[in-house]
Amino acid sequence: MMNLMFSPNGRIGPSAYLKGMLIIGAISAVVNLLLFVNVALAVVISILGLVFYVVVIMMGIKRSHDAGKSGWMSITHLLLLFGISAVLGFVLTAIGMGVDDAAITAAGESGDLSAIMEATGDAMKAAAIPGAISSFLTFAVTGFLVNMFNKQDMGDNQYGPVPAA
């Protein structure tokens, strides 16, 4: 498992890549839902969530190797991930699943620090479900699109033997 997540060497097939992306998406969604439990805990875990991007890059390198391409192709996978995330964020905000900026602004204008903290915490909790949906869909769609554009090299190549199904 550690070799799959933290090593750029070798190859992974389309199904293993998609499963890995779905697992990362599910963990990311759970981290977003932690905002309901404790905002501070969720923020700390979100910072640690930067490890997800390392895992995505490593899996992207292996997926590129499986298609017979350079590992540098994983940069396009990361850009695709960020693009999908941005589009989903805009869509979810546009359909009304965003944060209530008016409450935060009103609390800020009052100058009451506890009101500001409460409004910010409420806003973060309001963003938890859209964030969870967006996170999962972002990783799932990225995994699907990367597999669609990187067809598996069915024979052994310079990066190793064909991965087991």
Spell out the domain ranges in the chain. Answer: 2-149
**Tokens linked to 158:** 């310079």
Could you read off the pLDDT of 5-14 as tens digits, one per residue?
788 898 999 9
At residue 99 the predicted structure's pLDDT band, cuts being 50, 70 and 90, is low
What separation in angstroms does the CA of 124 have from each of 38, 65, 109, 121, 162?
10, 39, 19, 5, 45
Helices 39-48 and 14-33: crossing angle in degrees, nearest 10, is 150
| Per-residue confidence (pLDDT) for residue 24, from 0 to 100 | 93
The DSSP result for 85-126, as a single string, is HHHHHHHHHHTT-S--HHHHHHHHHHT-HHHHHHHHHHHHHH
Question: What proportion of the chain, given as a percentage, has pLDDT over 90?
Answer: 41
Please state, in angstroms and rounded to a whole number, the distance separating the CA atoms of residues 152 and 126. Answer: 41
Per-residue confidence (pLDDT) for residue 115, from 0 to 100: 67
- Mean pLDDT in the chain? 83
**In this predicted structure, what is the pLDDT of residue 37?**
77
